[in-house]
Amino acid sequence: MGKDECKTMLDALNKVTACYRHLVIALGSTSDSQNLREELKKTRKKAQELAVANRTKLTTLLKDKSISKDDRAEYERLWVLFTSSMELLEVDMKRSLEIGQDFPLKVPTRHLIQTGMTGSTTTVAARAMSVQNMKYEADASIDTVDLKELETEIAQVDQMMEEMEMKVQVAPWAVEAKQEAGAELKSTVSVGNSSVGVISICEEEPKETVEGETGLMKVFAGIIFTAVLLIAGILGYLVINL
């Protein structure tokens, strides 16, 4: 169905936007490298493909006059999601151009900001491109060459957004979100628990780290307790049987 297709495409675009932002944050810092610039380029291109695909799909759906009111409301909601995603993407592209220009890689004295991030962003890029491993094949001057392409792409995106505004008449304020406040807390089991211990470390107060430790202690105590129970149960069984 049109709606499901749209939703999956939007999800994909959303994922790529999030990954792109993550990559742009690493730009100019010590995680910056040749590979990062290439990752940015690839992610960007993928984002643009998805954007164009989304746009054509949604415009055809919205132009169709023969859809029901509910359908139309749903498509308008998807449209608003799409435009918000594009906004984020546009800002990130412009910023990556600016930061990329300020921090060129092929200069004798390279002064990247030492932010403490030293790992590579390969996995993030792989997630964005939906591949297992990233292949790097760009040449050494990617940072300058890519910037020119980036400028043209930004102009393209600008133009696309203008056209979108003109062609599709959707009133964003009339759209009602399906999720209410705090909706992200539900169904986020995978994301929530494992990171809690990690995050508490960078907060203030050493007592936070103590909390993490007592958590560990609790787990240990639990394991020991169950082990003791098991042993007691087995011994009891043996005693009863013998």
Partner 1 sequence: MTINTLSQDGVQRQQMPCLTKMERMIISMQDPDMGIKLRNQRLLITVIPHAMTGIDIVEWLIKKFSISDEEALHIGQLFVKYGYIYPLKEPRNLILKADDSPYRFQTPYYWMSTRWPASELDYAIYLAKKNIRKQGELIEYEKECYNALHKRINHTWDFVVMQAREQLRASKQRRKADRIVLECQEQAYWLVTRPPPGTLDNIDYGPERRTMNTRVQLNAEFYKKEIEHNRISLARNRVKSSICLESYVKYCEQYQPHDPIMQGCLPSNPWITDDIMFWNMNSEAVAVPTKLRVECWSFSFMELLNDPMGRKEFLTYLEKEFSAENLCFWQACEDVRHGETSKIPEKVDEVYKQFLSPGASRWVNIDSKTMEKTLEGLKHPHRFVLDDAQMHIYFLMKKDSYPRYLKSELYKNLLARAIVPQETKKSVFPFMRRQRHSSPSPALATQTGEDDGKAKNSNSVKSNSGTASRL
Q: Which of residues 96-155 bind partner 1 (CB under 8 A)?
A: 98-99, 102-103, 109, 111-119, 121, 123-124, 126-128
What angle, rounded to 10 degrees, do the helices at 189-202 and 207-241 form? 130
Instruction: Name the residue nearer to partner 1 (CB basis): 48 or 83.
Output: 83
Q: Which of residues 28-57 bind partner 1 (CB under 8 A)?
A: 28-31
CA 90/CA 14 separation, integer angstroms: 13
The least CB distance from residue 134 to partner 1, in Å, is 12
Q: Pick the stretch among 20-28, 47-55, 61-69, 222-230 that binds partner 1 (CB under 8 A).
A: 20-28
Instruction: Name the residue nearer to partner 1 (CB basis): 65 or 178.
Output: 178
Signed CA dihedral, 177, 183, 186, 191: sign only: positive
Q: Pick the stretch among 50-58, 59-67, 81-89, 141-149 that binds partner 1 (CB under 8 A).
A: 81-89
Q: Which of residues 176-235 bind partner 1 (CB under 8 A)?
A: 176-185, 188, 191-192, 195-196, 198-199, 201-204, 209, 212
The least CB distance from residue 59 to partner 1, in Å, is 16
Task: Confirm or reject binding of residue 163 to partner 1 (CB under 8 A).
Answer: no
Task: Confirm or reject binding of residue 236 to partner 1 (CB under 8 A).
Answer: no
CA 232/CA 240 separation, integer angstroms: 12
H-run or E-run covering 78: helix 69-102
For residues 102-140, one letter each, b for 16 or more C-beta atoms within 10 angstroms of the residue's C-beta and e for the rest, the string is ebebeeeeeeeeeeeeeeebeebbebbbeeeebeeebee
The two tokens of residue 19 are 């990954």
Instruction: Name the residue nearer to partner 1 (CB basis): 91 or 235.
Output: 91
Task: Confirm or reject binding of residue 70 to partner 1 (CB under 8 A).
Answer: no
Instruction: Name the residue nearer to partner 1 (CB basis): 181 or 240.
Output: 181
Alpha helix positions (H), 103-206: 122-129, 142-167, 189-202
CA 37/CA 144 separation, integer angstroms: 10
Instruction: Name the residue nearer to partner 1 (CB basis): 202 or 242.
Output: 202
